[in-house]
Chains A and B, each alone.
Chain A
Amino acid sequence: EAGVAQSPRYKIIEKRQSVAFWCNPISGHATLYWYQQILGQGPKLLIQFQNNGVVDDSQLPKDRFSAERLKGVDSTLKIQPAKLEDSAVYLCASSPLGGRGQKLFFGSGTQLSVL
């Protein structure tokens, strides 16, 4: 079974530039998550999709971040314009529909450096 695919693996940009990350979840997984993980911290949820609808985006900085999930499958996360504090690893995860015991499957992440 193929895992969660993310690209690019690394990205270096200058502040005020824009950047986009792509995620392809495990086939059949209804729920998709984007997390931001700053060095030395646990992941912070940015947005959660269920199929192609948004379940929670309360921690997404909507003035600069946007995300979409195309046809309930692939997803893109965009930052425009980037700030220095956006330097982090962006993790995508997916899971089947389920309850409190449902584990998440993660991709390898995209490491973003904003200079």
Chain B
Amino acid sequence: AQKITQTQPGMFVQEKEAVTLDCTYDTSDPSYGLFWYKQPSSGEMIFLIYQGSYDQQNATEGRYSLNFQKARKSANLVISASQLGDSAMYFCAMREGRYSNYQLIWGAGTKLIIKP
């Protein structure tokens, strides 16, 4: 069974608009962490934002925020005021608790294209 699901293979968004990238996850471990990474065409994975399962507040990092809905097992990434440089692949990933060696489980990614 898929542990991380990203349902949007691709998205086109107009520059300056906000965009939401979907991520749902599946775990029975009460202790877990959720990550979003950006992968531009250059290939490097760039960390964007992190949310811990026990964090009370939704994480924010500049223009990035994470809409964490624990009961729905959803961790959507919101990018405000999108820019042309935001065009890239975006991956959601989860790390379960100590018994998994803290390995990251990755989604299949969403390709985001920002239109001028």
Contact = CB atoms under 8 A, between A and B. Distances in A.
Contacts of B109: 40-42
A103 B102 contact: no
B101 A56 contact: yes
Contacts, number: 61
Interface of A: 40-45, 48, 55-56, 89, 91, 93, 98-109, 111
B93 to A, nearest CB: 8
A42 B107 contact: yes
Interface in B44-83: 44-47, 50, 52
Nearest to B49: A103
Contacts of A106: 37, 44-46
A42 B50 CA distance: 18
B105 to A, nearest CB: 9
Nearest to A31: B102
Interface of B: 4, 31-33, 35, 37, 42-47, 50, 52, 91, 93, 95-98, 101-104, 106-109
A90 to B, nearest CB: 10
A10 to B, nearest CB: 10
B45 A100 contact: no
A100 B108 contact: no
Contact of A43 (B47, B102, B106): B106
B108 A55 contact: no
Nearest to A106: B45
A45 B41 CA distance: 21
A23 B53 CA distance: 32
Contact of A107 (B44, B52, B102, B104): B44
Contact of A45 (B44, B91, B103): B103
> 7 closest A-B pairs (Cβ-Cβ)?
A42-B106, A106-B45, A100-B33, A109-B43, A108-B44, A103-B47, A100-B95
A104 B104 contact: yes
10 contacts: A42-B91, A42-B108, A45-B104, A48-B101, A91-B45, A100-B31, A100-B95, A100-B96, A100-B98, A101-B50
A83 B97 CA distance: 35
